Amino acid sequence: MLFFHTSKIVEFLYLWGMLKKVLVTGGAGYIGSHTVVELFNAGYEPVLLDDFRNSNESVIDGLSNILGDRPELLKHDVCNTDYLRDYIRKHEVCGIIHFAAYKAVGESVENPLRYYQNNVEGLVSILKMVSENPEIPFVFSSSCTVYGEPQGQKEVSEKTPKTIPTSPYGFTKWLGEKIIDDLFFSQKKLRLMSLRYFNPIGAHSSTQIGELPIGKPNNLLPFITQTAAGLHEKLTIFGDSYPTIDGTCVRDYIHVVDLAEAHVKALDYLINAKDGCHEIVNIGTGNGSSVLQVVNTFEKVNDIKLNYEFGPNRPGDVIEIYANVDYAKKLLGWSAKKTINDAVKDAWNWEKSIRSIK
Ligand code: UD1
């Protein structure tokens, strides 16, 4: 019967609880691991595909503590198309969420081929599976980096024109969306969604999983928490004379658990979609916060004094951007619930737990 795989049969099996495996590439990473938890909470069976090149195997222990059981783990490179093909042939997979990618902007400038190979080849490899199994819905991790520096209005909607990002990392996301567009053009029955993330921060409130940067962090929140934990002498705030509320850059910081929930909504939507689509959706809070506001909030919420200084602008930084989230609400019935206070509290509790700080 299953040889005649149609989206109707998949939907039927899903509704009867017989078909719930969701392949999560990069499932041991920061956003991936939080999404694994939310998928599980929603009744799906997340299957992690991760070769731990950019994540730590201890994440699986943290996930097991939250889920009460070890999740299924496929320790393979997403570029291993033959392995993926064999796995999907033997298992009933009702969705694929593709996180596995590198994300350090500076590193991508220094080593572009590493980024093009992993991010583009990885995407093409997993999309081959979608193309060969058109009943499987697919969710892609895109980024607000595709907007570049917004001209005029700082609140960007999905209709705001994209610009070609300056970093190879950013370009892999821009290109990723284009590759998915082109695939959809050739196979109109595919159900696809690109989620444009703004700035994910925070950690699971259990302190079992959180952000685990390898080496010195590039992103703001892990640098803040590591400085508060004594790993760095001080935080450097890159730039204090931008045309913003207080001279520092403005971003839309979203709690990673809210972001994870958005993936569940995205998958639910695609599973129930009657027609093919490539939907593009902003996933943010709709609010902008400056770097200084984040630092002040971290200090206030956690009752900690953070050592920081102002330094030169970071090359390539966007000055100010935040999401218009109307479409996420309309299409997915999703909006962020947690506040930036929740996020900085959870991030610090996570840092304390991994450093054994009381
Ligand atoms: C960048 C990408 C984004 C990507 C993310 C993943 C761009 C424009 N944005 O986000 O698409 O998803 O990386 O890593 O390419 N800051 C400091 N001191 C620090 C660290 C950061 O002041 O030590 C400031 C930055 O200058 C920036 C803000 O904090 O204003 C946020 O920076 P970061 O966390 O690195 O994220 P983005 O650069 O916004």
- Is the CB of residue 145 below 6 angstroms from any atom belonging to ligand 1? yes
Q: What is the residue range of 192's domain?
A: 6-355
Through-space distance between the first and last CA atoms of the chain, rounded to whole angstroms: 57
Mutate to test the pocket of ligand 1, among 54, 220, 290 (most ligand atoms within 8 A of CB): 220
170 lines ligand 1 (CB under 6 A): yes
Q: Is the residue at 185 inside a domain?
A: yes
CA of 128 to the centre of ligand 1 (A): 32
The atom of ligand 1 lying closest to the CA of 249 is 30
The answer to whether the CB of 291 is under 6 A from ligand 1 is yes
Q: Flag whether 261 is in a domain.
A: yes
pLDDT of residue 316: 87
**The pLDDT of residue 20:** 87
Tens digits of pLDDT across the chain (358 residues): 444 444 565 566 555 656 589 999 999 999 999 999 999 999 999 999 999 999 999 999 999 999 999 999 999 999 999 999 999 999 999 999 999 999 998 899 999 999 999 999 999 999 999 999 999 999 999 999 999 999 889 999 999 999 989 899 999 999 999 999 999 999 999 999 999 999 999 999 999 999 999 889 999 999 999 999 999 999 999 999 999 999 999 999 999 999 999 999 999 999 999 999 999 999 999 999 999 999 999 999 999 999 999 999 998 899 999 999 999 999 999 999 999 999 999 999 999 999 999 8
Task: Say what the pLDDT of residue 9 is.
Answer: 59
How many domains does the chain contain in total? Answer: 1
Q: Ligand 1 in contact with 167 (CB < 6 A)? A: yes
Cα of 220 from ligand 1 centre, angstroms? 6
Give the distance from CA 240 to its chain's centroid. 28
Ligand 1 center to 263 CA (angstroms)? 22
Q: What is the set of active-site residues? A: 169
Half-sphere exposure of 307 (CA within 13 A, CB side): 9
Please report where in the chains the tokens 């619930």 appear, as a residue. Answer: 337
User: Which of 319, 320, 254 lies closest to 284 in space, CA to CA?
Assistant: 254
Does a structural domain hold residue 1?
A: no
Q: What is the pLDDT of residue 8?
A: 62
Q: What is the pLDDT of residue 15?
A: 59
DSSP for 194-216? EEEE-EEE---TTSSS----SSS
Q: Is 282 helix (H, G, I), strand (E, B) or coil?
A: strand
Q: What is the pLDDT of residue 1?
A: 40
| pLDDT for position 106 | 87
Domain presence at residue 106: yes
Residue 339 CA to ligand 1 centre (angstroms): 19
- Is the CB of residue 289 below 6 angstroms from any atom belonging to ligand 1? no
What is the structure's pLDDT at 3? 43
Q: Is residue 178 part of a domain?
A: yes
d(CA 345, CA 294): 12
Q: Does ligand 1 lie within 6 Å of residue 263's CB atom?
A: no
Asked if residue 133 is part of any domain, the answer here is yes
Nearest atom in ligand 1 to the alpha carbon of residue 223 is 23
C-beta neighbour count of 284 within 10 angstroms = 29
CATH label of the domain that carries residue 348 = 3.40.50.720
Q: Report the C-alpha gap between 315 and 311 in whole angstroms.
A: 12
CA–CA gap between residue 123 and residue 143 (Å, rounded): 15
